[in-house]
Every structure is written in structure tokens, then in C-alpha cells.
């Protein structure tokens, strides 16, 4: 599967946030979408997920306009939060069913993920009783339980302790190995370098640098942080 965002333009009032942003990502690959705060990453993600339409441009899967009924998307937003007063299993089931899963399948998948993330014992607790890091792991289940084709992770490592960070790294690698498309947005360049075989740097509403991560670093003779500083900073 190939996901392509082609020439996406989007303005909010007078401000043009995206000015013809184009990138593509393939199955079994993680693409790092990098940019400074306000560069338009969240707007891009929302257009990709169909929250609002682009002013112009296309979101394509294998060359055809995306069909959300057929292409599953899992999203871990940067701004985390679920229902603090609801039981974890109840709300995870709810979110999985909103994505179209049957109840029994949803519960089975959620239990598997809770087990994988070491959260099974908290299954029947209210979310608000968990630590921030554990709540984040629960939120990750909402992004993965319905077995999506495209996984969007926005700053997934912020707030995680080193043990949980390793656990999450393993999970992301497994998903990549399963042939998922992972879109990864982060300011922690070490993680980007570790996962993302490709990157795209978004600046001033358009892609200013994109390509294979290792090739770009080799060509420019710079590490990823230095590349980011060079390409992401000058236009804002």
C-alpha cells in the first residue's frame, strides 16, 4: 500500500498553513513528519484523517482517493486524553466499535494489547486512577486495537519512562514489520532516526527536505538534529 498526500493546500482565514505539501509513504515503512511548532503537522494529520477537507490537493491510497471505510487509520494525538471516569475496557471497546469493530472482536483485540503493554491488571479500573505514563499506554491501544493500515503517532514518547519507551519502541517496530504505514511526528530526533527510514521536513507550509533518512544524512554530512535545525528554522 502506498499513501500519498499530493499538493495539499489549506488556509485558515488569511493564513495559508499548507502550500502544496506533498509526500508519500509505503507499507512496512515509517515516515518521520518533522517540523517546528506551528509548521502544519497537525493540520496535515487532520486532513489525512478526513476531519476537514483540504482547500485543494488529494489524499491517495495506491493512487486512488482514500476510502475511510476500507483504509483503517489509528491515531495517537499529541494532546492525550480519554474519559477519566470510565472503566478502561469500556472506553477502549467504545473507541474500537466507533472504528467499525464488532464488540467481541474489539474486546479480544483490546485484551491482547493490554497484555502486550503489561496493562491487563488495570482492565477494569477507571482511567483516572492510572499514572500519566500508563494512561498514555491505554491511549496507544485506542490507536492500535482496530488493526489499522496507517498508524499516526504524534510525539508518542513524551511522558514515558525509559522502560515504557523501550516497550513502545518494540511495539512500533513490530507494527512496521507487519507491513503497516507508520507516520511519526516528533521532536526527539533520536527516535526518528531509529525508526524512520524516510523523513519529510515541513517548513512554511511545504516540504523543504524529503528522502531516505540515512541517504540525506550522508549527502549533507550532518546528523538529523543538525539537518532539522538547518531546514526547519529559517522560514518561520
Partner 1 sequence: MKQFKTILGFELTNYFQNKVFLGVTLFLVITIAVVTNLPGIISAFSDSGVFGEDTIALSVADGLDGEYYKALFSSAFEGSTIVITGDAEAMVQSGDASCGFYVDGEQNLRYFVPNITLTDTRGYTALEVMRSAAQFTGLLKSGVSPDEAAAILNPDIELETVNLGVDQTQNYLYTYVMVIALYMVILIYGQMVASAVAAEKSSRCMEVLITSADPVAMMFGKVIAAGAAGLFQLVAVFGSGFFFFNLNRGALESIPIVGSLFDIPLELLIYMIIYFILGFFIYAFLYGAVGSMVSKVEEVGSAILPVNFSFIIVYIIVIFSLSSGSIDNIAMKVCSFFPLTSSMAMFARIALSSVPLWEKLTSVAILAVSVFGVGVLSAKIYRAGVLLYGVKPTIPQIIKALRRA
For partner 1, which is the closer residue by CB, 134 or 142?
A: 142
CB closer to partner 1, 181 vs 208: 181
CA gap 150, 190 in Å, rounded? 22
Closer to partner 1 by CB, 78 or 194: give it: 78
What's the closest the beta carbon of residue 233 comes to partner 1, in angstroms?
Answer: 25
Name the residues that contact partner 1, by CB under 8 A.
12-13, 46, 49, 51-52, 73, 75, 77, 79-84, 86, 90, 94-95, 97-100, 139, 142
Grid cell for residue 142: 485506542
Least distance between partner 1 and beta carbon 102 (Å): 10
Cβ-contact 142, 95 below 8 angstroms = yes
Q: How far apart are CB 9 and partner 1 at their closest, in Å?
A: 13
Nearer to partner 1, 84 or 211 (CB): 84
Cβ closer to partner 1: 83 or 225? 83
CB count in 10 Å sphere of residue 55: 14
Cβ neighbours for 148, distance < 8 A, ≥ 6 positions apart: 72, 73, 74, 99, 180
CA–CA separation, 106 and 63 (whole Å): 30
* Min separation Cβ 94 and partner 1, Å: 5
Shortest distance, position 82 Cβ to partner 1, whole Å: 5
* Angle between the N-to-C axes of helices 132-144 and 103-116, in degrees from 0 to 180, rounded to the nearest 10: 140
Contact 203/231 with Cβ under 8 angstroms?
A: yes
Task: Report the C-alpha gap between 141 and 12 in whole angstroms.
Answer: 32
Amino acid at each position: 500500500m502506498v499513501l500519498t498526500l499530493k499538493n495539499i493546500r489549506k488556509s485558515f482565514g488569511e493564513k495559508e498553513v499548507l502550500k502544496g505539501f506533498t509526500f508519500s509513504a509505503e507499507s512496512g515503512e515509517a515516515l518521520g513528519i518533522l517540523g517546528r511548532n506551528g509548521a502544519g503537522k497537525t493540520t496535515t494529520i487532520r486532513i489525512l484523517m478526513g476531519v476537514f477537507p483540504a482547500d485543494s490537493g488529494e489524499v491517495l491510497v495506491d493512487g486512488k482517493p482514500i476510502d475511510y471505510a476500507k483504509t483503517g487509520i489509528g491515531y495517537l494525538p499529541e494532546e492525550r486524553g480519554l474519559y477519566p471516569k470510565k472503566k478502561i475496557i469500556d472506553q477502549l471497546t467504545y473507541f474500537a466499535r466507533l472504528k467499525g469493530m464488532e464488540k467481541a472482536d474489539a474486546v479480544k483485540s483490546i485484551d491482547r494489547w493490554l497484555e502486550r503493554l503489561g496493562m491487563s491488571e488495570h482492565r477494569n479500573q477507571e482511567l483516572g486512577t492510572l499514572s500519566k505514563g500508563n494512561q498514555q499506554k491505554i491511549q496507544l491501544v485506542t490507536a492500535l486495537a482496530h488493526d489499522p493500515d496507517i498508524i499516526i503517532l504524534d510525539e508518542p514518547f513524551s511522558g514515558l519512562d525509559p522502560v515504557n519507551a523501550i516497550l513502545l519502541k518494540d511495539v512500533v517496530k513490530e507494527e512496521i514489520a507487519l507491513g503497516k504505514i507508520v507516520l511519526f511526528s516528533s521532536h526527539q530526533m533520536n527516535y526518528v532516526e531509529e525508526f524512520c527510514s524516510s523523513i519529510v521536513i515541513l517548513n512554511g507550509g511545504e516540504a523543504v527536505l524529503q528522502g531516505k533518512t540515512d541517504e540525506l544524512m550522508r549527502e549533507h554530512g550532518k546528523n538529523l538534529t543538525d539537518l532539522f535545525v538547518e531546514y526547519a528554522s529559517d522560514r518561520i
